[in-house]
Amino acid sequence: MTPDRSFGHMSKGMAEQLSGPSFQGLATFAQRPLVCESEELDEIRPDVAIVGAPWDDSCTNRPGARFGPRALRALAYGPGSYHLDLAVEMFDHLCVVDFGDALCSHGLVEISHKAIEKKVFQVASRSIVPIVLGGDHSITLPSVTAVAQARGWGRVGVVHFDAHADTADNIGGNLLSHGTPMRRLIESGAVRGENFVQVGLRGYWPPREVWEWMRAQGMRWHMMQEIWEKGVAHVMERAVSEALDGCDAVYLSVDIDVLDPGFAPGTGTPEPGGMTPADLLRAVRKVVGSVNLVGMDVVEVSPPYDTSEITINNAHRVVLEVLAALADTKRSKEEMKA
């Protein structure tokens, strides 16, 4: 067992505020200590830092994802921190802090994206894993850009769970829409097309010309039809292999609309026919347990459209699954050294 360094710098009163049930006290993700200064990251040296990216002015349908980071901190039911399948008490092995939000400016996409990029870079440049709570999916552009700058330009693969490819050139003239970030990342060279792997695509968008662009970049995808025919385990084996083909590490991006709307009503662009939470959680666990994870986001959680916090809790558990898989990996390394 490793002492949780993240609590060592706190006052007794602050520790008490974070020690009770999740419905009381200070609202941080999974009741992790709040860190506001980058210098504190150097002092604590956490394994993971949570970053909020409350931006949704780039969405095309239903807004509200700007409230996602706060909801994931305050409204999710706190289930505990012992992962039953992995038999790991995650915070015995993993030091996690909440690094607060990037401060986004209403209506100013370039300024807001730059704020997110700066906040994520402060984490990633210290070899800490940033977990970014969106926000609409446009926030993946600054988040992955920051991680690629810190960890290796063109050396980071992406596994992207989504109903939509988000590879349009523009949406209504907007180059920084939530429907365009994956194209911008490939165009910039931050991620190579052949290492951009998408899982869960379905429905009726994007159009043919966008698919032709994706093929030309060497992008790879696994649609819901393939998951239905071959199963999640088979698809994830392929997806992990493809993302790592020539890369050193992986960034994970989860749009909550990869879930069927019956499990995620609180999202901006719901698309019927999606994954179940049981499959998504295990798929995420598979990715994180198989790669060197250098960053992650969960996006498009829109609390105003949610029902009984269904979407919020599913998105919250996606992040817990990532933390548990990271803790399991770190535990294994600690045991090997012992």
pLDDT in tens, 140-158: 999 999 999 999 999 999 9
Residue type, 22: S
As given in the structure block, the two tokens for residue 221 are 């995808």
Section 179-196 average pLDDT: 98
pLDDT of residue 14: 84
Q: Where are the domains of the chain?
A: 5-337
pLDDT of residue 85: 97
Please give the C-alpha separations between residue 158 and each of 84, 110, 208, 226, in angstroms, as whole numbers.
28, 23, 23, 19
Confidence label for 2 from pLDDT (cuts 50, 70 and 90)? low
Buried-exposed string 248-272: b where 16+ CB fall within 10 A, e elsewhere: ebbbbbbbbbbbbbebbbbbbbbbe
Q: How far apart are CA 15 and CA 21, in angstroms?
A: 13
Q: Is the pLDDT of residue 286 over 60?
A: yes
User: How does pLDDT run across 50-103, given as a tens digit for each residue?
Assistant: 999 999 999 999 999 999 999 999 999 999 999 999 999 999 999 999 999 999
pLDDT of residue 185: 98
Please state the CATH superfamily assignment of the domain spanning residues 5-337 in this structure: Ureohydrolase domain (3.40.800.10)
Average pLDDT value over all residues in the chain: 96
Section 228-255 average pLDDT: 97
Q: Are the beta carbons of 173 and 92 closer than 8 angstroms? A: no
CB-based contacts of 309, cutoff 8 Å, min separation 6 = 71, 75, 76, 77
pLDDT of residue 3: 55
Q: Is the pLDDT of residue 233 over 80?
A: yes
∠ CA 294-93-252 to the nearest 5 degrees? 25
pLDDT of residue 119: 98
pLDDT of residue 20: 84
The percent of residues above 70 in pLDDT, for the chain, comes to: 98
Q: Is the pLDDT of residue 33 over 90?
A: yes
Half-sphere exposure of 118 (CA within 13 A, CB side): 12
Q: How far apart are CA 273 and CA 215, in angstroms?
A: 24
Confidence label for 19 from pLDDT (cuts 50, 70 and 90)? confident
pLDDT of residue 186: 98
First vs last Cα of the chain: how many Å apart? Answer: 12
